[in-house]
């Protein structure tokens, strides 16, 4: 495997998944507090109340990053620590936490990549219709303004949103994520998607103004679609799935419009799209962040309401999330995004796998399958770079085992094993492998 000398090697986390300390130093409630405390929403009723206790252990956790030999760290900022009710007056204690973290990272020679929104909307904003309200874009821009003024002298890499697809569909149609809306029509998810585009555009404008020279991007979860057979019905179904999952998010930010085949599919459910909206969303970006975990194999299914497709599970290896291990999908995806959208730079902002881990008596975790997953996906990255993709870095998901949303603590993605009974961290074999590659 070949990587350029200036390749960015990183690990990623998100605030609600690791921080804990949910009532400390003036943090306001977020929709994930509300959701995880609602019976039946998360496995075993798990919550992020304590999580990895990173809010208190951040210094040690920087030490963990150093031991991984990474030169970058992607974390997210909890909006409700900065603005406890989402808008109005900032909370200095909340800002201080991230300020100290950033100083510590820089001292350790680790470049911070800050994500503004990784799903923990302030509850007060939710009470005012959350992502369903068009003017949430102004609130998001205000938050971006406050935090970029506070950290922008030291944080030079910014990400607006993590995975708008998940925010829209898991949160506002399937009900699996906060705020837990279930709907039988896609109208709400499409409204949310549109408002996320507006919020993204407004935040980029603010960041550009406040931070000349900073690198600004966004993060999409892309899922390459493969037809189950070469029958035209299956190929068309795969195209619809691709429109639903990938193009609905790529086209507005890179081309300034929604894909025409999909606006036709969604015709009766579309939100109001005002003139100029998608010009606002299509702002030049310095990079696109891609989160890649698996692929989708799609067949036509006329009985299936909505887009008329079904996902099939081919023979193969599946992770503890029941996601197929398919590194070729990462290569194909990188080539395709480069060809069709040509982002200036690309980062893999998340990639990793969950497996059932066992901690030995001597404090080791022999997670061969996670190591193999990492190796095969890094190999796909290296091939894409050789073929001309401007891939500038790779962030492993995740630094630590953590609160995996609706799955609670049952799914372990970390390069470090966390014993949640006592918060001890142990470097897994996959982490040792990653440290060797990152440290070369
Ligand atoms: C992504 C999320 C991340 C983590 C991984 C497994 O969708 O961005 O927080 O949960 O999946």
DSSP 170: I
Q: Is the pLDDT of residue 183 over 90?
A: yes
Determine which one of 163, 236, 364, 368 is catalytic: 163
381 alpha carbon – ligand 1 mean position (Å): 19
pTM for the full predicted model: 0.98
CB 247 within 8 A of CB 337: no
For ligand 1, atom 4, which residue shows the shortest CA distance?
A: 404
> Where does residue 152 fall: left (phi above 0), alpha (psi -120 to 50 degrees), or beta otherwise?
alpha
- CATH code: domain of residue 23: 3.20.20.80
Between CA 396 and CA 164 the distance in angstroms is: 20
Query: Does residue 422 fall inside a structural domain?
Result: no
Active site residue 315: no
401 CB less than 6 Å from ligand 1? no
How many CA atoms, within 13 angstroms, populate the side-chain half-sphere of residue 357? 30
Query: Does residue 286 fall inside a structural domain?
Result: yes
406 CB less than 6 Å from ligand 1? no
The string of pLDDT tens digits covering residues 31-40 is 999 999 999 9
Structure token pair of residue 284: 């030049």
Query: Does residue 438 fall inside a structural domain?
Result: no
Number of domains in the chain: 1
Q: Which of 210-247 are b and which e, b meaning 16 or more Cβ less than 10 Å from the residue's Cβ? A: bbeeebbbbbbbbbbbbbbeeeebbbbbbbbbbbbbbb
Query: Does residue 420 fall inside a structural domain?
Result: no
Full domain range(s) for residue 58 = 8-324
Query: Does residue 121 fall inside a structural domain?
Result: yes
Q: Please, what is the Cα angle at 359 between 357 and 360, to 5 degrees?
A: 135
Q: Is the pLDDT of residue 146 over 90?
A: yes
User: What is the average pLDDT score of the chain?
Assistant: 98
Structure token pair of residue 247: 């193009």
**Of the residues 355, 397, 412, which should be mutated to test ligand 1's pocket, given the most ligand atoms within 8 Å of the CB?**
397
Q: pLDDT band at residue 369, thresholds of 50, 70 and 90?
A: very high
Q: pLDDT band at residue 440, thresholds of 50, 70 and 90?
A: confident
Mean pLDDT calculated for residue range 220-243: 98
242 CB less than 6 Å from ligand 1? no
Between CA 325 and CA 379 the distance in angstroms is: 14
Between CA 39 and CA 378 the distance in angstroms is: 40
Ligand 1 nearest-atom number relative to CA 321? 6
Ligand 1 nearest-atom number relative to CA 354? 6
> Where does residue 193 fall: left (phi above 0), alpha (psi -120 to 50 degrees), or beta otherwise?
alpha
The rounded Cα 122 to chain-centroid distance in angstroms is: 18
Given 3-state DSSP classes, what are the helix, strand and coil percentages for the chain, each rounded to the nearest 5?
45, 15, 40
Query: Does residue 356 fall inside a structural domain?
Result: no
Determine which one of 24, 176, 264, 350 is catalytic: 350
**Comparing C-alpha atoms, which of 389, 395, 385 is closest to residue 415?**
395
Q: Is the pLDDT of residue 127 over 90?
A: yes
The string of pLDDT tens digits covering residues 270-283 is 999 999 999 999 99
166 CB less than 6 Å from ligand 1? yes
The string of pLDDT tens digits covering residues 283-295 is 999 999 999 999 9
Query: Does residue 268 fall inside a structural domain?
Result: yes
397 CB less than 6 Å from ligand 1? yes
Give 107's contacts (C-beta < 8 A, 6+ positions apart): none
Strands 287-291 and 215-221: parallel
Query: Does residue 358 fall inside a structural domain?
Result: no
Active site residue 404: no
Instruction: Please name every residue paired with 397 in a beta bridge, in sequence order, or none if there are none.
Output: 12
Per-residue pLDDT, 304 = 86
328 alpha carbon – ligand 1 mean position (Å): 20
CB 234 within 8 A of CB 339: no
């Amino acid at each position: 495997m070949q990587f350029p000398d200036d390749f960015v090697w990183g690990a990623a986390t998100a605030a609600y998944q690791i921080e804990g300390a949910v009532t400390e130093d003036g943090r306001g409630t977020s929709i994930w507090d509300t959701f995880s405390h609602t019976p039946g929403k998360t496995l075993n009723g798990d919550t992020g109340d304590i999580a990895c206790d990173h809010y208190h252990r951040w210094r040690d956790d920087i030490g963990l990053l150093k031991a991984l030999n990474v030169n970058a760290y992607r974390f997210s900022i909890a909006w409700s620590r900065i603005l406890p009710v989402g808008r109005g007056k900032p909370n200095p204690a909340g800002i201080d936490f991230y300020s100290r973290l950033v100083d510590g990272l820089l001292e350790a020679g680790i470049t911070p990549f800050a994500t503004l929104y990784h799903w923990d909307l302030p509850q007060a904003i939710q009470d005012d219709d959350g992502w369903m309200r068009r003017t949430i874009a102004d609130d998001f821009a205000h938050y971006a303004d406050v935090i970029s003024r506070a950290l922008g002298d030291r944080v030079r890499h910014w990400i607006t949103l993590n995975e708008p697809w998940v925010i829209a569909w898991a949160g506002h149609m399937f009900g699996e994520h906060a705020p837990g809306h279930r709907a039988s029509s896609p109208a709400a998810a499409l409204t949310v998607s549109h408002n996320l585009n507006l919020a993204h555009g407004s935040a980029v404008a603010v960041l550009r103004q406040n931070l000349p020279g900073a690198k600004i991007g966004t993060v999409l979860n892309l899922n390459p679609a493969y037809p189950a057979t070469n029958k035209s019905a299956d190929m068309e179904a795969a195209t619809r799935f691709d429109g639903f999952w990938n193009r609905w998010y790529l086209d507005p930010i890179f081309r300034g419009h929604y894909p025409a085949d999909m606006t036709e599919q969604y015709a009766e459910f579309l939100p109001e799209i005002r003139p100029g909206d998608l010009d606002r969303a299509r702002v030049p970006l310095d990079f696109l962040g891609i989160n890649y975990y698996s692929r989708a194999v799609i067949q036509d299914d006329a009985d299936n309401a909505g887009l008329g497709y079904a996902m099939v599970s081919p023979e193969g290896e599946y992770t503890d999330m029941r996601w197929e291990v398919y590194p070729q999908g990462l290569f194909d995806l990188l080539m395709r995004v480069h060809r069709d959208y040509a982002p200036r730079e690309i980062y893999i902002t998340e990639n990793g796998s969950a497996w059932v881990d066992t901690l030995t008596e001597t404090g080791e975790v022999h997670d061969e399958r996670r190591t193999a997953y990492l190796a095969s996906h890094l190999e796909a990255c290296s091939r894409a770079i050789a073929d001309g993709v401007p891939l500038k870095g790779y962030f492993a998901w995740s630094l630590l085992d953590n609160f995996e949303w609706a799955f609670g603590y049952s799914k372990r993605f970390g390069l470090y094993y966390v014993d949640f009974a006592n918060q001890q961290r142990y470097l897994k074999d996959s982490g040792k492998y990653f440290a060797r590659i990152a440290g070369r």
